[in-house]
């Protein structure tokens, strides 16, 4: 499985990365691989606030529709509009063009509680 | 199967051709307001014989339980005895009008009453409503009942419904539809509910739990009584999803284990038509706590007379008239043909067939939760490098079998969910296992056979991604 070593992860297969003062979120390579071809993405409204672990988006593949959970509490600053026309960006570039949302963290300390790449790899390969 | 591609009915159309010539009208023609008139009506123009041949050829392309083995997990695609159809087609039922009135419908009301009583007895419940038209419809009714129970008591904080991660996707959908919040509970290593996670999720916001037993892994939830006790102690109620009732009919009564409200799918366990729109019946049963909230009307017996009555705190109607009545006739015929003894034997044979098939299949295929199963089991389809469950499913079509349910439940990677039902013979099960064996060889020696499948159908492998991303939903000339 491909990993982004600059990102932190949740057991539920989301990654989060610092992007200047903001944070950016997506789903891991392992997650997109398990889901298969993604056909639809439902993203939240900009300005909406979520607590850590809240479902903020839905990713639908030919196999299943899955909730995506925000790894840290925060307010949505931007969503990836490109996914509407090209949801397969998540399959092709899970850590780059396939990002889901950018958010402002309301509790940046939550970052420290997330898994680093190697800890996530160990969790994901248990499945 | 008829493999010749069939043109669309529009392709057979010829301008001016008709099947039936209507007689001249012998009453004055009522004027149609100009705004209701239209210049064209693009319907196909065909004679009767062309029409009959077209639809007969289409019907020959059907894949059904009457033609082939259909081990679609969690759907209980059992054979529907033709005697059910004879019963439902009887003119006494067929010609009864829903507005006929109670005094002229006593026979129909008696049938509904008797079926209510029989199903309540099978489930261990106090009362039954036959209104809901499908399993998910029954779930929605049940969740509405739980919600109303709490609201009637002024307990407005209870908004959370716990749902195991092995549940049917309809469970969280029903919660959301009823305005409640679905909270996922993980499974333990044995495939049952993780009791510690359950305990951590209890509290004053708990409305209830939705539980499927046996669950979608085909495993009996051994802690069912403990789960009901914990949820009840926390002030919540227990919803039972009866999708898998075929495994336990006549053996285990969910009401006795502490389940408060539950649906059964008559179109699964009770052998009424399933698939292609059924129509189905997702009857909902309740214990003494929730019976007064059942959707109405129910049939009650007053002396020697049967009448329709809606319970005092009913959530209201779930369906127009009295549910899918003709389906109820079929289910009644079925339970009366089997009797109590036969209902128990159907469950025993469903479990026996599934375990027999499981032992054959797991010689080659992975079965993640390997203990003795109930009516179904879940294998994994990634039998060789580069071969996926979808390829195995498509290859089964080439061998004349309907694919099992695939990629569900979500907690098993590459899931293949196989439910043979009790109506299949040992020969059919052996033939299916032999084909899976052969497909495992093909996956190893010649995976292209799987990737290209199906090749024996009028239309081959469809592009499911394109179909989901850019669906074409209308006919275009």
Q: How far is CA A32 from CA A61, B309, B351, in A?
A: 9, 52, 36
Q: Which domain holds residue B24?
A: 9-60
Residue range B324-341: average pLDDT?
A: 97
B118 shares its domain with B256: yes
Domain membership of residue B388 (yes or no) is yes
Q: Please judge whether B413 and A34 are an interchain contact, meaning their C-beta atoms are less than 8 angstroms apart.
A: yes
Q: Please judge whether A37 and B169 are an interchain contact, meaning their C-beta atoms are less than 8 angstroms apart.
A: no
Q: How far is CA B11 from CA B15, B33, B54, in A?
A: 11, 33, 11
B155 shares its domain with B17: no
Last residue of a domain, one of B338, B357, B373: B338
B348 shares its domain with B328: no
pLDDT tens column, B355-396: 999 999 999 999 989 889 999 999 999 999 999 999 999 999
pLDDT tens column, B141-196: 999 999 999 999 999 999 999 999 999 999 999 999 999 999 999 999 989 999 99
> If you ran DSSP here, which 8-state letter would residue B193 be given?
B
Tell me, what CATH number does B331's domain have? 3.40.640.10
Domain membership of residue B381 (yes or no) is yes
Would you say the pTM of this structure is higher than 0.95? Answer: no
Question: In the structure encoding, which two tokens stand for residue B372, read together?
Answer: 């003795």
Chain B: residue whose CA lies nearest to A65: B169
Give the number of domains in chain B.
3
Domain membership of residue B1 (yes or no) is no
Of all residues in chain B, the percent with pLDDT exceeding 70 is: 99
B173 shares its domain with B95: yes
- Residues of chain B in contact with residue A62, where contact means CB-CB under 8 angstroms, are 464-465, 468
pLDDT tens column, B386-430: 999 999 999 999 999 999 999 999 889 899 999 999 999 999 999
B40 shares its domain with B92: no
Identify the band that residue B1 occupies on the pLDDT scale cut at 50, 70 and 90.
Answer: low
Tell me, what CATH number does B407's domain have? 3.90.1150.10
Of all residues in chain A, the percent with pLDDT exceeding 90 is: 87
Angle at B333 between CA B332 and CA B339, to 5 degrees: 85
Angle at B396 between CA B54 and CA B456, to 5 degrees: 40
Closest CB from A34, A37, A127 relative to B465: A37
B373 shares its domain with B233: no
Identify the band that residue B440 occupies on the pLDDT scale cut at 50, 70 and 90.
Answer: very high
Closest CB from A34, A62, A127 relative to B468: A62
Task: Enumerate domains of chain A plus CATH numbers.
Answer: 8-107 (2.40.50.100)
Residue range A48-72: average pLDDT?
A: 93
Q: How far is B393 from chain A (nearest CA, A)?
A: 13
Q: Please judge whether B465 and A62 are an interchain contact, meaning their C-beta atoms are less than 8 angstroms apart.
A: yes
Last residue of a domain, one of B315, B338, B361: B338
Secondary structure string (H, E, C) spanning A12-53: CCEEEEEECCEEEEEECHHHHHHHCCEEEEECCCCCCEECCC
Last residue of a domain, one of B306, B338, B370: B338
Question: In the structure encoding, which two tokens stand for residue B257, read together?
Answer: 């284990």
Q: How far is A22 from chain B (nearest CA, A)?
A: 29
B311 shares its domain with B353: no
Q: Please judge whether B468 and A40 are an interchain contact, meaning their C-beta atoms are less than 8 angstroms apart.
A: yes
């Amino acid at each position: 499985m491909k990993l982004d070593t600059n990102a932190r992860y949740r057991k539920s297969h989301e990654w989060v990365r610092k992007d200047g003062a903001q944070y950016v979120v997506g789903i891991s390579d392992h997650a997109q691989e398990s889901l298969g071809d993604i056909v639809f993405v439902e993203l939240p409204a900009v300005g909406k606030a979520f607590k850590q672990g809240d479902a903020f988006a839905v990713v639908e593949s030919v196999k299943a529709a899955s909730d995506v959970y925000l790894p840290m509490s925060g307010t949505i600053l931007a969503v990836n509009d490109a996914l509407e026309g090209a949801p397969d960006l998540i399959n092709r570039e899970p850590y780059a063009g396939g990002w889901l949302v950018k958010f402002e963290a309301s509790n940046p300390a939550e970052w420290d509680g997330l898994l680093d790449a190697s800890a996530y790899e160990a969790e994901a390969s248990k499945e | 199967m008829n493999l010749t591609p069939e043109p669309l009915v529009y392709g057979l159309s010829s301008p001016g051709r008709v099947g039936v010539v209507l007689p001249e009208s012998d009453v004055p023609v009522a004027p149609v307001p100009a705004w209701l008139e239209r210049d064209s009506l693009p319907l196909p123009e065909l004679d009767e014989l062309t029409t009959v041949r077209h639809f007969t050829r289409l019907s020959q392309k059907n894949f059904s339980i009457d033609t082939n083995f259909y081990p679609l997990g969690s759907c209980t695609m059992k054979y529907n005895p033709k005697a059910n159809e004879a019963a439902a087609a009887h003119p006494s039922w067929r010609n009864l009008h829903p507005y006929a009135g109670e005094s002229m419908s006593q026979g129909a009301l008696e049938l509904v009453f008797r079926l209510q009583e029989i199903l309540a007895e099978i489930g261990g419940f106090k009362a039954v409503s036959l209104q809901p038209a499908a399993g998910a419809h029954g779930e929605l009714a049940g969740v509405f009942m739980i919600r109303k129970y709490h609201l009637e008591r002024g307990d407005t904080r209870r908004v959370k419904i716990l749902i195991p991660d092995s549940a049917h996707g309809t469970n969280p959908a029903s919660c959301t539809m009823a305005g409640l919040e679905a909270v996922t509970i993980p499974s333990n290593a044995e495939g049952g509910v993780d009791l510690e996670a359950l305990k951590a999720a209890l509290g004053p916001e708990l409305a209830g739990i939705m539980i499927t037993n046996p669950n979608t892994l085909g495993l009996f939830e051994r802690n069912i009584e403990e789960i009901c006790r914990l949820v009840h102690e926390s002030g919540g109620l227990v919803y039972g999803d009866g999708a898998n009732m075929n495994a336990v009919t006549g053996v285990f009564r969910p009401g006795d284990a502490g389940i408060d409200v539950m649906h059964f799918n008559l179109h699964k366990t009770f052998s009424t038509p399933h698939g292609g729109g059924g129509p189905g019946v997702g009857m909902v049963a309740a214990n003494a706590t929730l019976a007064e909230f059942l959707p109405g009307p129910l049939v009650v017996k007053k002396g020697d007379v049967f009448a329709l009555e809606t319970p005092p705190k009913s959530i209201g109607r779930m369906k127009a008239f009295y549910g899918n009545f003709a389906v109820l006739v079929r289910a009644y015929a079925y339970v009366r043909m089997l009797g109590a003894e036969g209902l128990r034997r159907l469950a025993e044979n469903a479990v026996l067939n599934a375990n027999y098939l499981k032992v054959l299949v797991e010689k080659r295929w992975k079965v993640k939760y390997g203990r003795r199963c109930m009516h179904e089991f879940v294998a994994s389809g990634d039998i060789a490098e580069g071969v996926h469950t979808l390829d195995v499913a498509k290859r089964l079509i080439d061998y004349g079998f309907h694919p099992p349910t695939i990629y569900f439940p979500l907690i098993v990677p590459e899931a293949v969910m196989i439910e043979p039902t009790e109506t299949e013979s040992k020969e059919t099960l052996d033939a299916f296992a032999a084909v899976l064996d052969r497909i495992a060889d093909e996956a190893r020696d010649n995976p292209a056979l799987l990737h290209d499948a199906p090749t024996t159908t009028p239309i081959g492998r469809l592009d499911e991604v394109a179909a989901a991303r850019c669906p074409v939903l209308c006919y275009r000339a």
